[in-house]
Amino acid sequence: MMEHDTEPLEPNDERLWELLTSCLGNEELGAETVSTLEASTAAPPLSPGLKSRLGRVARQAEADLEFATTLEKHRQRATLGSYLTFLRGKAEWTVSETAKRVRLEFQWLADLERDALAPTEIPARRLAELLKRLKGSLEMVERLLPSTIQAPRQIATSGRDSLYRRGSSTGQGRWSEPPDAPPAQENPEYREQLHAVERLREQLRALW
């Protein structure tokens, strides 16, 4: 069963929430922004439901900023797997413990964290449940979904696989593509996985 950690808002609060997120964007709703909004809002103050939702988004934004800073410090590439590993570390859960808490297969979760799964192997509901338990942000995950594509974007066309040695008359030199090699073509498997990423993104939004 999907975990819901937000309570429904009154119509006026819902309109205010939509206005704030459309103007600022979730990544800019940090703790200072929430405090400023609360202090500057005319009576009546922010409702508990709206304040709770803003606080949750602020915590997610701060965690995402910490994630980006950590990757930059270690010169690592941002991927879905690295983000999930980061969130699990903040929760201080092991892979085994996380798998038990979220009712996931241990090997599936381990493969997901090491970026070994193609988007076609990642069920949206399972990923959404994991993200909610680890308090991740949908915005960051949407940005990182393309990192799950495993297939190369281009493949060699007929004749491109043939290599020849160029260099001195002694036969020494390096192997390279023939000078008349045709251009590479887009890999159909890459296109299929790209479409799978888009489907996964839409499914996650619907489940959030």
Q: What is the pLDDT of residues 38-60, one digit of tens each?
A: 555 554 566 766 666 666 666 77
Evaluate if pTM is beyond 0.85: no
Q: 162 falls in which pLDDT band (50, 70, 90)?
A: very low
Q: What is the mean pLDDT of the chain?
A: 78
For residue 148, what are its two tokens?
A: 């799950």
Q: 3 falls in which pLDDT band (50, 70, 90)?
A: very low
Q: 27 falls in which pLDDT band (50, 70, 90)?
A: very low
Residue 2 pLDDT: 42
Residue with tokens 């699990």: 88
Contacts of 207 (CB under 8 A, 6+ apart): 2, 124, 125, 128
Domains and CATH numbers, the chain: 10-75 (no CATH), 77-151+183-208 (1.10.260)
Residue 176 pLDDT: 55
Average pLDDT (155-171) is: 55
**Rounded to a whole number, what is the distance in angstroms from the first to the last CA of the chain?**
13
CA 89, 95, 98, 102 torsion: positive or negative?
A: positive
Average pLDDT (138-158) is: 91
- Is the pLDDT reported for residue 34 higher than 50? yes
Average pLDDT (4-21) is: 59
pLDDT: which is higher, 86 or 15: 86
| Per-residue pLDDT tens digits for 172-190 | 555 555 556 567 799 999 9
- Give yes or no for a contact between 193 and 152, defined as CB atoms under 8 angstroms apart: no
Residue 50 pLDDT: 63
| Per-residue pLDDT tens digits for 103-138 | 999 999 999 999 999 999 999 999 999 999 999 999
